[in-house]
A and B are shown apart, each in its own frame.
Chain A
Amino acid sequence: MSNILEVNKVVKTYGDYTALNEVSLSVPKGSIYGLLGPNGAGKTSLIRIINQITLPDSGTILLDGEKLQPKHIQSIGYLPEERGLYKSMKVGEQCLYLAQMKGLSKAEAKKQLEYWFDKLDIKGWWNKKIEELSKGMAQKIQFVVTVLHQPKLLIFDEPFSGFDPVNANLIKDEILELREKGATIIFSTHRMESVEELCDHIALIHKSNKLIEGKLNDVKRAYRSNTFEVGILTSNVEGLMYDLTQKFKVSPASFKSLNEDLKLQIELGTANSNELLHVLTQRGQVTHFVEKIPSVNDIFIQTVTQ
């Protein structure tokens, strides 16, 4: 799988402040790529550079193998975090205007708009002014404007903020469908659960530097600590604890279970899971045995606070 976007050692400074310090990223074609990082990490700076809103001080960016240039504006769809529309302009006119700015002809823009308005069930809004719409409704329009010109690369900055759960789900499905159709999606967000759910690749930027990048599973594998969550029914708790603490690091755990079992979190260190199972089966009945996979949230917090 080739990369649709290659960011090579991009540096961006504002006066004395370095917003991006030699950041490199590779976004594979057809992926949903989560761009993570705390506030002020440099995500927006990077996104603005990819959108050619600002220029990098040094470094190169390749889009689909070509050096980034003005014509690529048409290949990118961008939904900024700070979003808005002309309040006193009518929905239809506004969409046409923004679509034409992305290089679509008026006829083509109209055709696409009809398709999307139909799809999102907002047909009746064409002649309404934005100021007459609710925030969530305006967000839908905004989403349409972003994807209208069928870009290869979509960049969503906090796409679900401002949507109610129903609409958020609708948008999520649309995003997945766009991916099915071949688009690549870069996703910048703080909402880790949506990252877990949607992303197959992630990158973490912190204090202007990229700290982590890769497939979500690879990253998780790298961050796993060989820790297992165990539930066990036993009559001899002391004996079990004695055996376990001889070999492993044990701490209490909490997870949902129907049994009145003993819940433990056990770090194996260099040992393998069979050794743990062996100890456990000798002392009681195992009701729960799961490797503790680090969540994106854990990885995020662990990396950022280090």
Chain B
Amino acid sequence: MSILTLIIKREFIAKVRNKSFIVMTFLSPLLFVALAAFVGYLSTLRSDVKKIMIHDESNLFANDFKQTDEYHYLDFSQMPLQALKDSIVAEKYEGILFIPKNADNKELSTKIQYISNESPSMSFIEDLQDIIGKKMTVDNFQKAGLDTLAIKNAQAKVNINLTKVSGEETVKGLNEIKVIIGGAFGYLIMMFIIIYGNMVMRSVIEEKTNRIIEIIISSVKPFQLMMGKIIGTSLAGVLQFVIWAIVGTILFFVASLFFGMEMSTPTTEMASASGNNFAGTAQLYISELMNLPLGTLLSSFLIYFIGGYFLYSSIYAAIGAAVDNETDSQQFLLPIIMPLMLGVYIGFFSVLSEPHGTIATVFSMIPLTSPIVMLMRIPFGVPWWQILISVTILFATFFFVVWFASKIYRVGILMYGKKPTWKELYKWLKY
């Protein structure tokens, strides 16, 4: 058995045998399902009805407020405003909408007040403004002597159908699905890098604090040890993910049987949301999903996963080598977490609005963010040459960073005592 496989095997077994690994592996899917069930249960609970008093001196709007599950509007226009204010706490009202008497709508539009103890949500206020605004518009039309019915009929509503150049019809909302799929993959990579990168770092620190390191590296090259560690840990991680996937699937089926959920529900819901003829639309969704570059997506997930994970975990290993304990590592960890977070944010904000825009394209080339951003872009169809460039840059950086990290690693593992500064790390490169 070669030395590298020996190290990989030891690291793998050490990780897998660890109690916290076993607990995490089998408990987190349960926790996850329990959490999902809990959230689901919470959302079925009806939230408290909020009672809103309306004091409408103009007598124009009171009937336009429709009762909803969340808000009950009560007309108290006959009572004096001060009395309403006094009773707001005692009678458990949410707030008072005060519309003063004013002949001129223009003037009125700036005089309306909402009085409450707790500040209301933005969307609620927007709803109120919308209702009052609509009513005022109609009132303005009437005052100007316009036929409101004619205007209403004259209003046009447009619904643009999406079609590809190839002629197939596509469905709306698919972009969101694409972002969710790409995002899930990108997010998975980020989580994996953070969790297992940290594990690599801890394992390096452990060898340092155990002082076994000197014995080990009198037998193997530091580079071999570092790579063995990274690969061994990642294999443990892959195993964990596979177990999660299997346990998750089983739990999902058990749960769906238990709660009598129908597997097809989400699709039909989406279809009915998009409107007419939902059976046909559902068909479209499914065929669209099938048309997604699944092969490209999966293979590039694998490639970016390997590239990204190795890139980051070698940095983690170098940090582990540079410090004596985990507390000291914080200072060096921030620059690692930042690009990962950036990748996820760029993915969700920029890729969603403009999958092939400049920002998304640039960040899918930068190696520290490309594993996340590019994966989010791929469902939208990325030209192969862009993927090629991005992967090339990623792996070139990977080799450079591994070289760089192994230098720091080589020196760092034998350094004890004070926490190194950035300047010292730079000096180590030249040793």
Across the interface, do A82 and B214 meet the contact criterion of CB distance under 8 Å?
yes
A90 to chain B, nearest CB (A): 10
Across the interface, do A97 and B6 meet the contact criterion of CB distance under 8 Å?
yes
Closest to A52 in B: B218
Across the interface, do B215 and A80 meet the contact criterion of CB distance under 8 Å?
yes
Residue-wise interface mask of A (75-119) relative to B, using a CB-CB cutoff of 8 A (1 in contact, 0 not): 010101011111111000000011011100000000000000000
Across the interface, do B215 and A78 meet the contact criterion of CB distance under 8 Å?
yes
**Set of chain B residues within 8 Å of A86, measured between Cβ atoms:** 14, 206-207, 210, 212
Across the interface, do B6 and A101 meet the contact criterion of CB distance under 8 Å?
yes
| Size of B's binding interface in residues, CB under 8 A | 26
Q: Is A53 interfacial (CB-CB < 8 Å)?
A: yes
* A8-59 contacts to B (CB < 8 Å): 14-15, 48, 51-54
Cβ 8 A contact of B218, one of A51, A85, A87, A100? A51
Q: Is B220 interfacial (CB-CB < 8 Å)?
A: yes
**Set of chain A residues within 8 Å of B212, measured between Cβ atoms:** 83-86
Q: Is B41 interfacial (CB-CB < 8 Å)?
A: no
Q: Is B122 interfacial (CB-CB < 8 Å)?
A: no
Q: Is B431 interfacial (CB-CB < 8 Å)?
A: yes
B110 to chain A, nearest CB (A): 71
Known: A14-B431, A88-B14. A53 touches B211 (CB 8 A): no
Cβ 8 A contact of A97, one of B10, B207, B211? B10
| Size of A's binding interface in residues, CB under 8 A | 27
Q: Is A145 interfacial (CB-CB < 8 Å)?
A: yes
Most buried by A among B3, B18, B410: B3
Across the interface, do A84 and B220 meet the contact criterion of CB distance under 8 Å?
no
Most buried by B among A14, A51, A82, A89: A82
Residue-wise interface mask of B (58-74) relative to A, using a CB-CB cutoff of 8 A (1 in contact, 0 not): 00000000000000000
Cβ 8 A contact of A83, one of B18, B211, B220, B431? B211
Across the interface, do B430 and A101 meet the contact criterion of CB distance under 8 Å?
no
Known: A73-B218, A101-B6. A15 touches B211 (CB 8 A): no
* B372-431 contacts to A (CB < 8 Å): 410, 414, 416, 427, 430-431
Closest to B219 in A: A101
Q: Is B1 interfacial (CB-CB < 8 Å)?
A: yes
Closest to A14 in B: B431
Across the interface, do B214 and A80 meet the contact criterion of CB distance under 8 Å?
yes
Across the interface, do A84 and B6 meet the contact criterion of CB distance under 8 Å?
no
Q: What separation, in Å, do the CA atoms of A102 and B410 have in the docked complex? A: 19
**Set of chain B residues within 8 Å of A101, measured between Cβ atoms:** 3, 6, 216, 219-220
Q: Is B217 interfacial (CB-CB < 8 Å)?
A: yes
Closest to A99 in B: B219
Closest to B220 in A: A101
Residue-wise interface mask of B (167-200) relative to A, using a CB-CB cutoff of 8 A (1 in contact, 0 not): 0000000000000000000000000000000000
Closest to B212 in A: A84
**Set of chain B residues within 8 Å of A83, measured between Cβ atoms:** 211-212, 214-215
Across the interface, do A78 and B211 meet the contact criterion of CB distance under 8 Å?
no
A109 to chain B, nearest CB (A): 11
**Set of chain B residues within 8 Å of A54, measured between Cβ atoms:** 410, 414
Q: What separation, in Å, do the CA atoms of A76 and B217 have in the docked complex? A: 13
**Set of chain A residues within 8 Å of B215, measured between Cβ atoms:** 78, 80, 83, 98, 142, 145
Across the interface, do A15 and B430 meet the contact criterion of CB distance under 8 Å?
yes
A144 to chain B, nearest CB (A): 12
Q: What separation, in Å, do the CA atoms of A70 and B218 have in the docked complex? A: 10
Residue-wise interface mask of B (215-235) relative to A, using a CB-CB cutoff of 8 A (1 in contact, 0 not): 111111100000000000000
**Set of chain A residues within 8 Å of B206, measured between Cβ atoms:** 86
**Set of chain A residues within 8 Å of B14, measured between Cβ atoms:** 86, 88-89
Q: What separation, in Å, do the CA atoms of A51 and B220 have in the docked complex? A: 10
Known: A48-B414, A53-B414, A97-B10. A76 touches B210 (CB 8 A): no
Across the interface, do A102 and B430 meet the contact criterion of CB distance under 8 Å?
no
**Set of chain A residues within 8 Å of B218, measured between Cβ atoms:** 51-53, 73, 76, 78, 80
Cβ 8 A contact of A15, one of B18, B207, B431? B431
**Set of chain A residues within 8 Å of B216, measured between Cβ atoms:** 98, 101
**Set of chain A residues within 8 Å of B209, measured between Cβ atoms:** 84
* A273-291 contacts to B (CB < 8 Å): none
* B271-324 contacts to A (CB < 8 Å): none
Q: What separation, in Å, do the CA atoms of A145 and B1 have in the docked complex? A: 19
**Set of chain A residues within 8 Å of B427, measured between Cβ atoms:** 15
Q: What separation, in Å, do the CA atoms of A102 and B207 have in the docked complex? A: 18
Closest to B1 in A: A100
**Set of chain B residues within 8 Å of A53, measured between Cβ atoms:** 214, 217-218, 414
Cβ 8 A contact of A87, one of B210, B217, B220? B210
Across the interface, do A73 and B414 meet the contact criterion of CB distance under 8 Å?
no
Closest to B216 in A: A101
Most buried by B among A76, A84, A85, A97: A84
Across the interface, do A100 and B431 meet the contact criterion of CB distance under 8 Å?
no
**Set of chain B residues within 8 Å of A102, measured between Cβ atoms:** 219
A39 to chain B, nearest CB (A): 13
Across the interface, do A100 and B214 meet the contact criterion of CB distance under 8 Å?
no
**Set of chain B residues within 8 Å of A98, measured between Cβ atoms:** 215-216, 219
B203 to chain A, nearest CB (A): 10
**Set of chain A residues within 8 Å of B1, measured between Cβ atoms:** 100
Most buried by B among A83, A85, A101: A101
25 contacts between A and B (CB under 8 A): A14-B431, A15-B430, A51-B218, A53-B214, A53-B218, A53-B414, A54-B414, A73-B218, A78-B215, A78-B218, A80-B211, A83-B212, A83-B215, A84-B210, A85-B210, A85-B212, A86-B206, A86-B210, A98-B215, A98-B216, A98-B219, A101-B3, A101-B216, A101-B219, A142-B215
Interface residues of A (CB under 8 A from B): 14-15, 48, 51-54, 70, 73, 76, 78, 80, 82-89, 97-98, 100-102, 142, 145
Given contacts A86-B14, A98-B215, 16 further A-B contacts (CB under 8 A): A14-B431, A48-B414, A52-B218, A54-B414, A80-B211, A80-B218, A82-B211, A82-B214, A83-B211, A83-B214, A84-B212, A85-B210, A86-B207, A88-B14, A88-B18, A101-B6
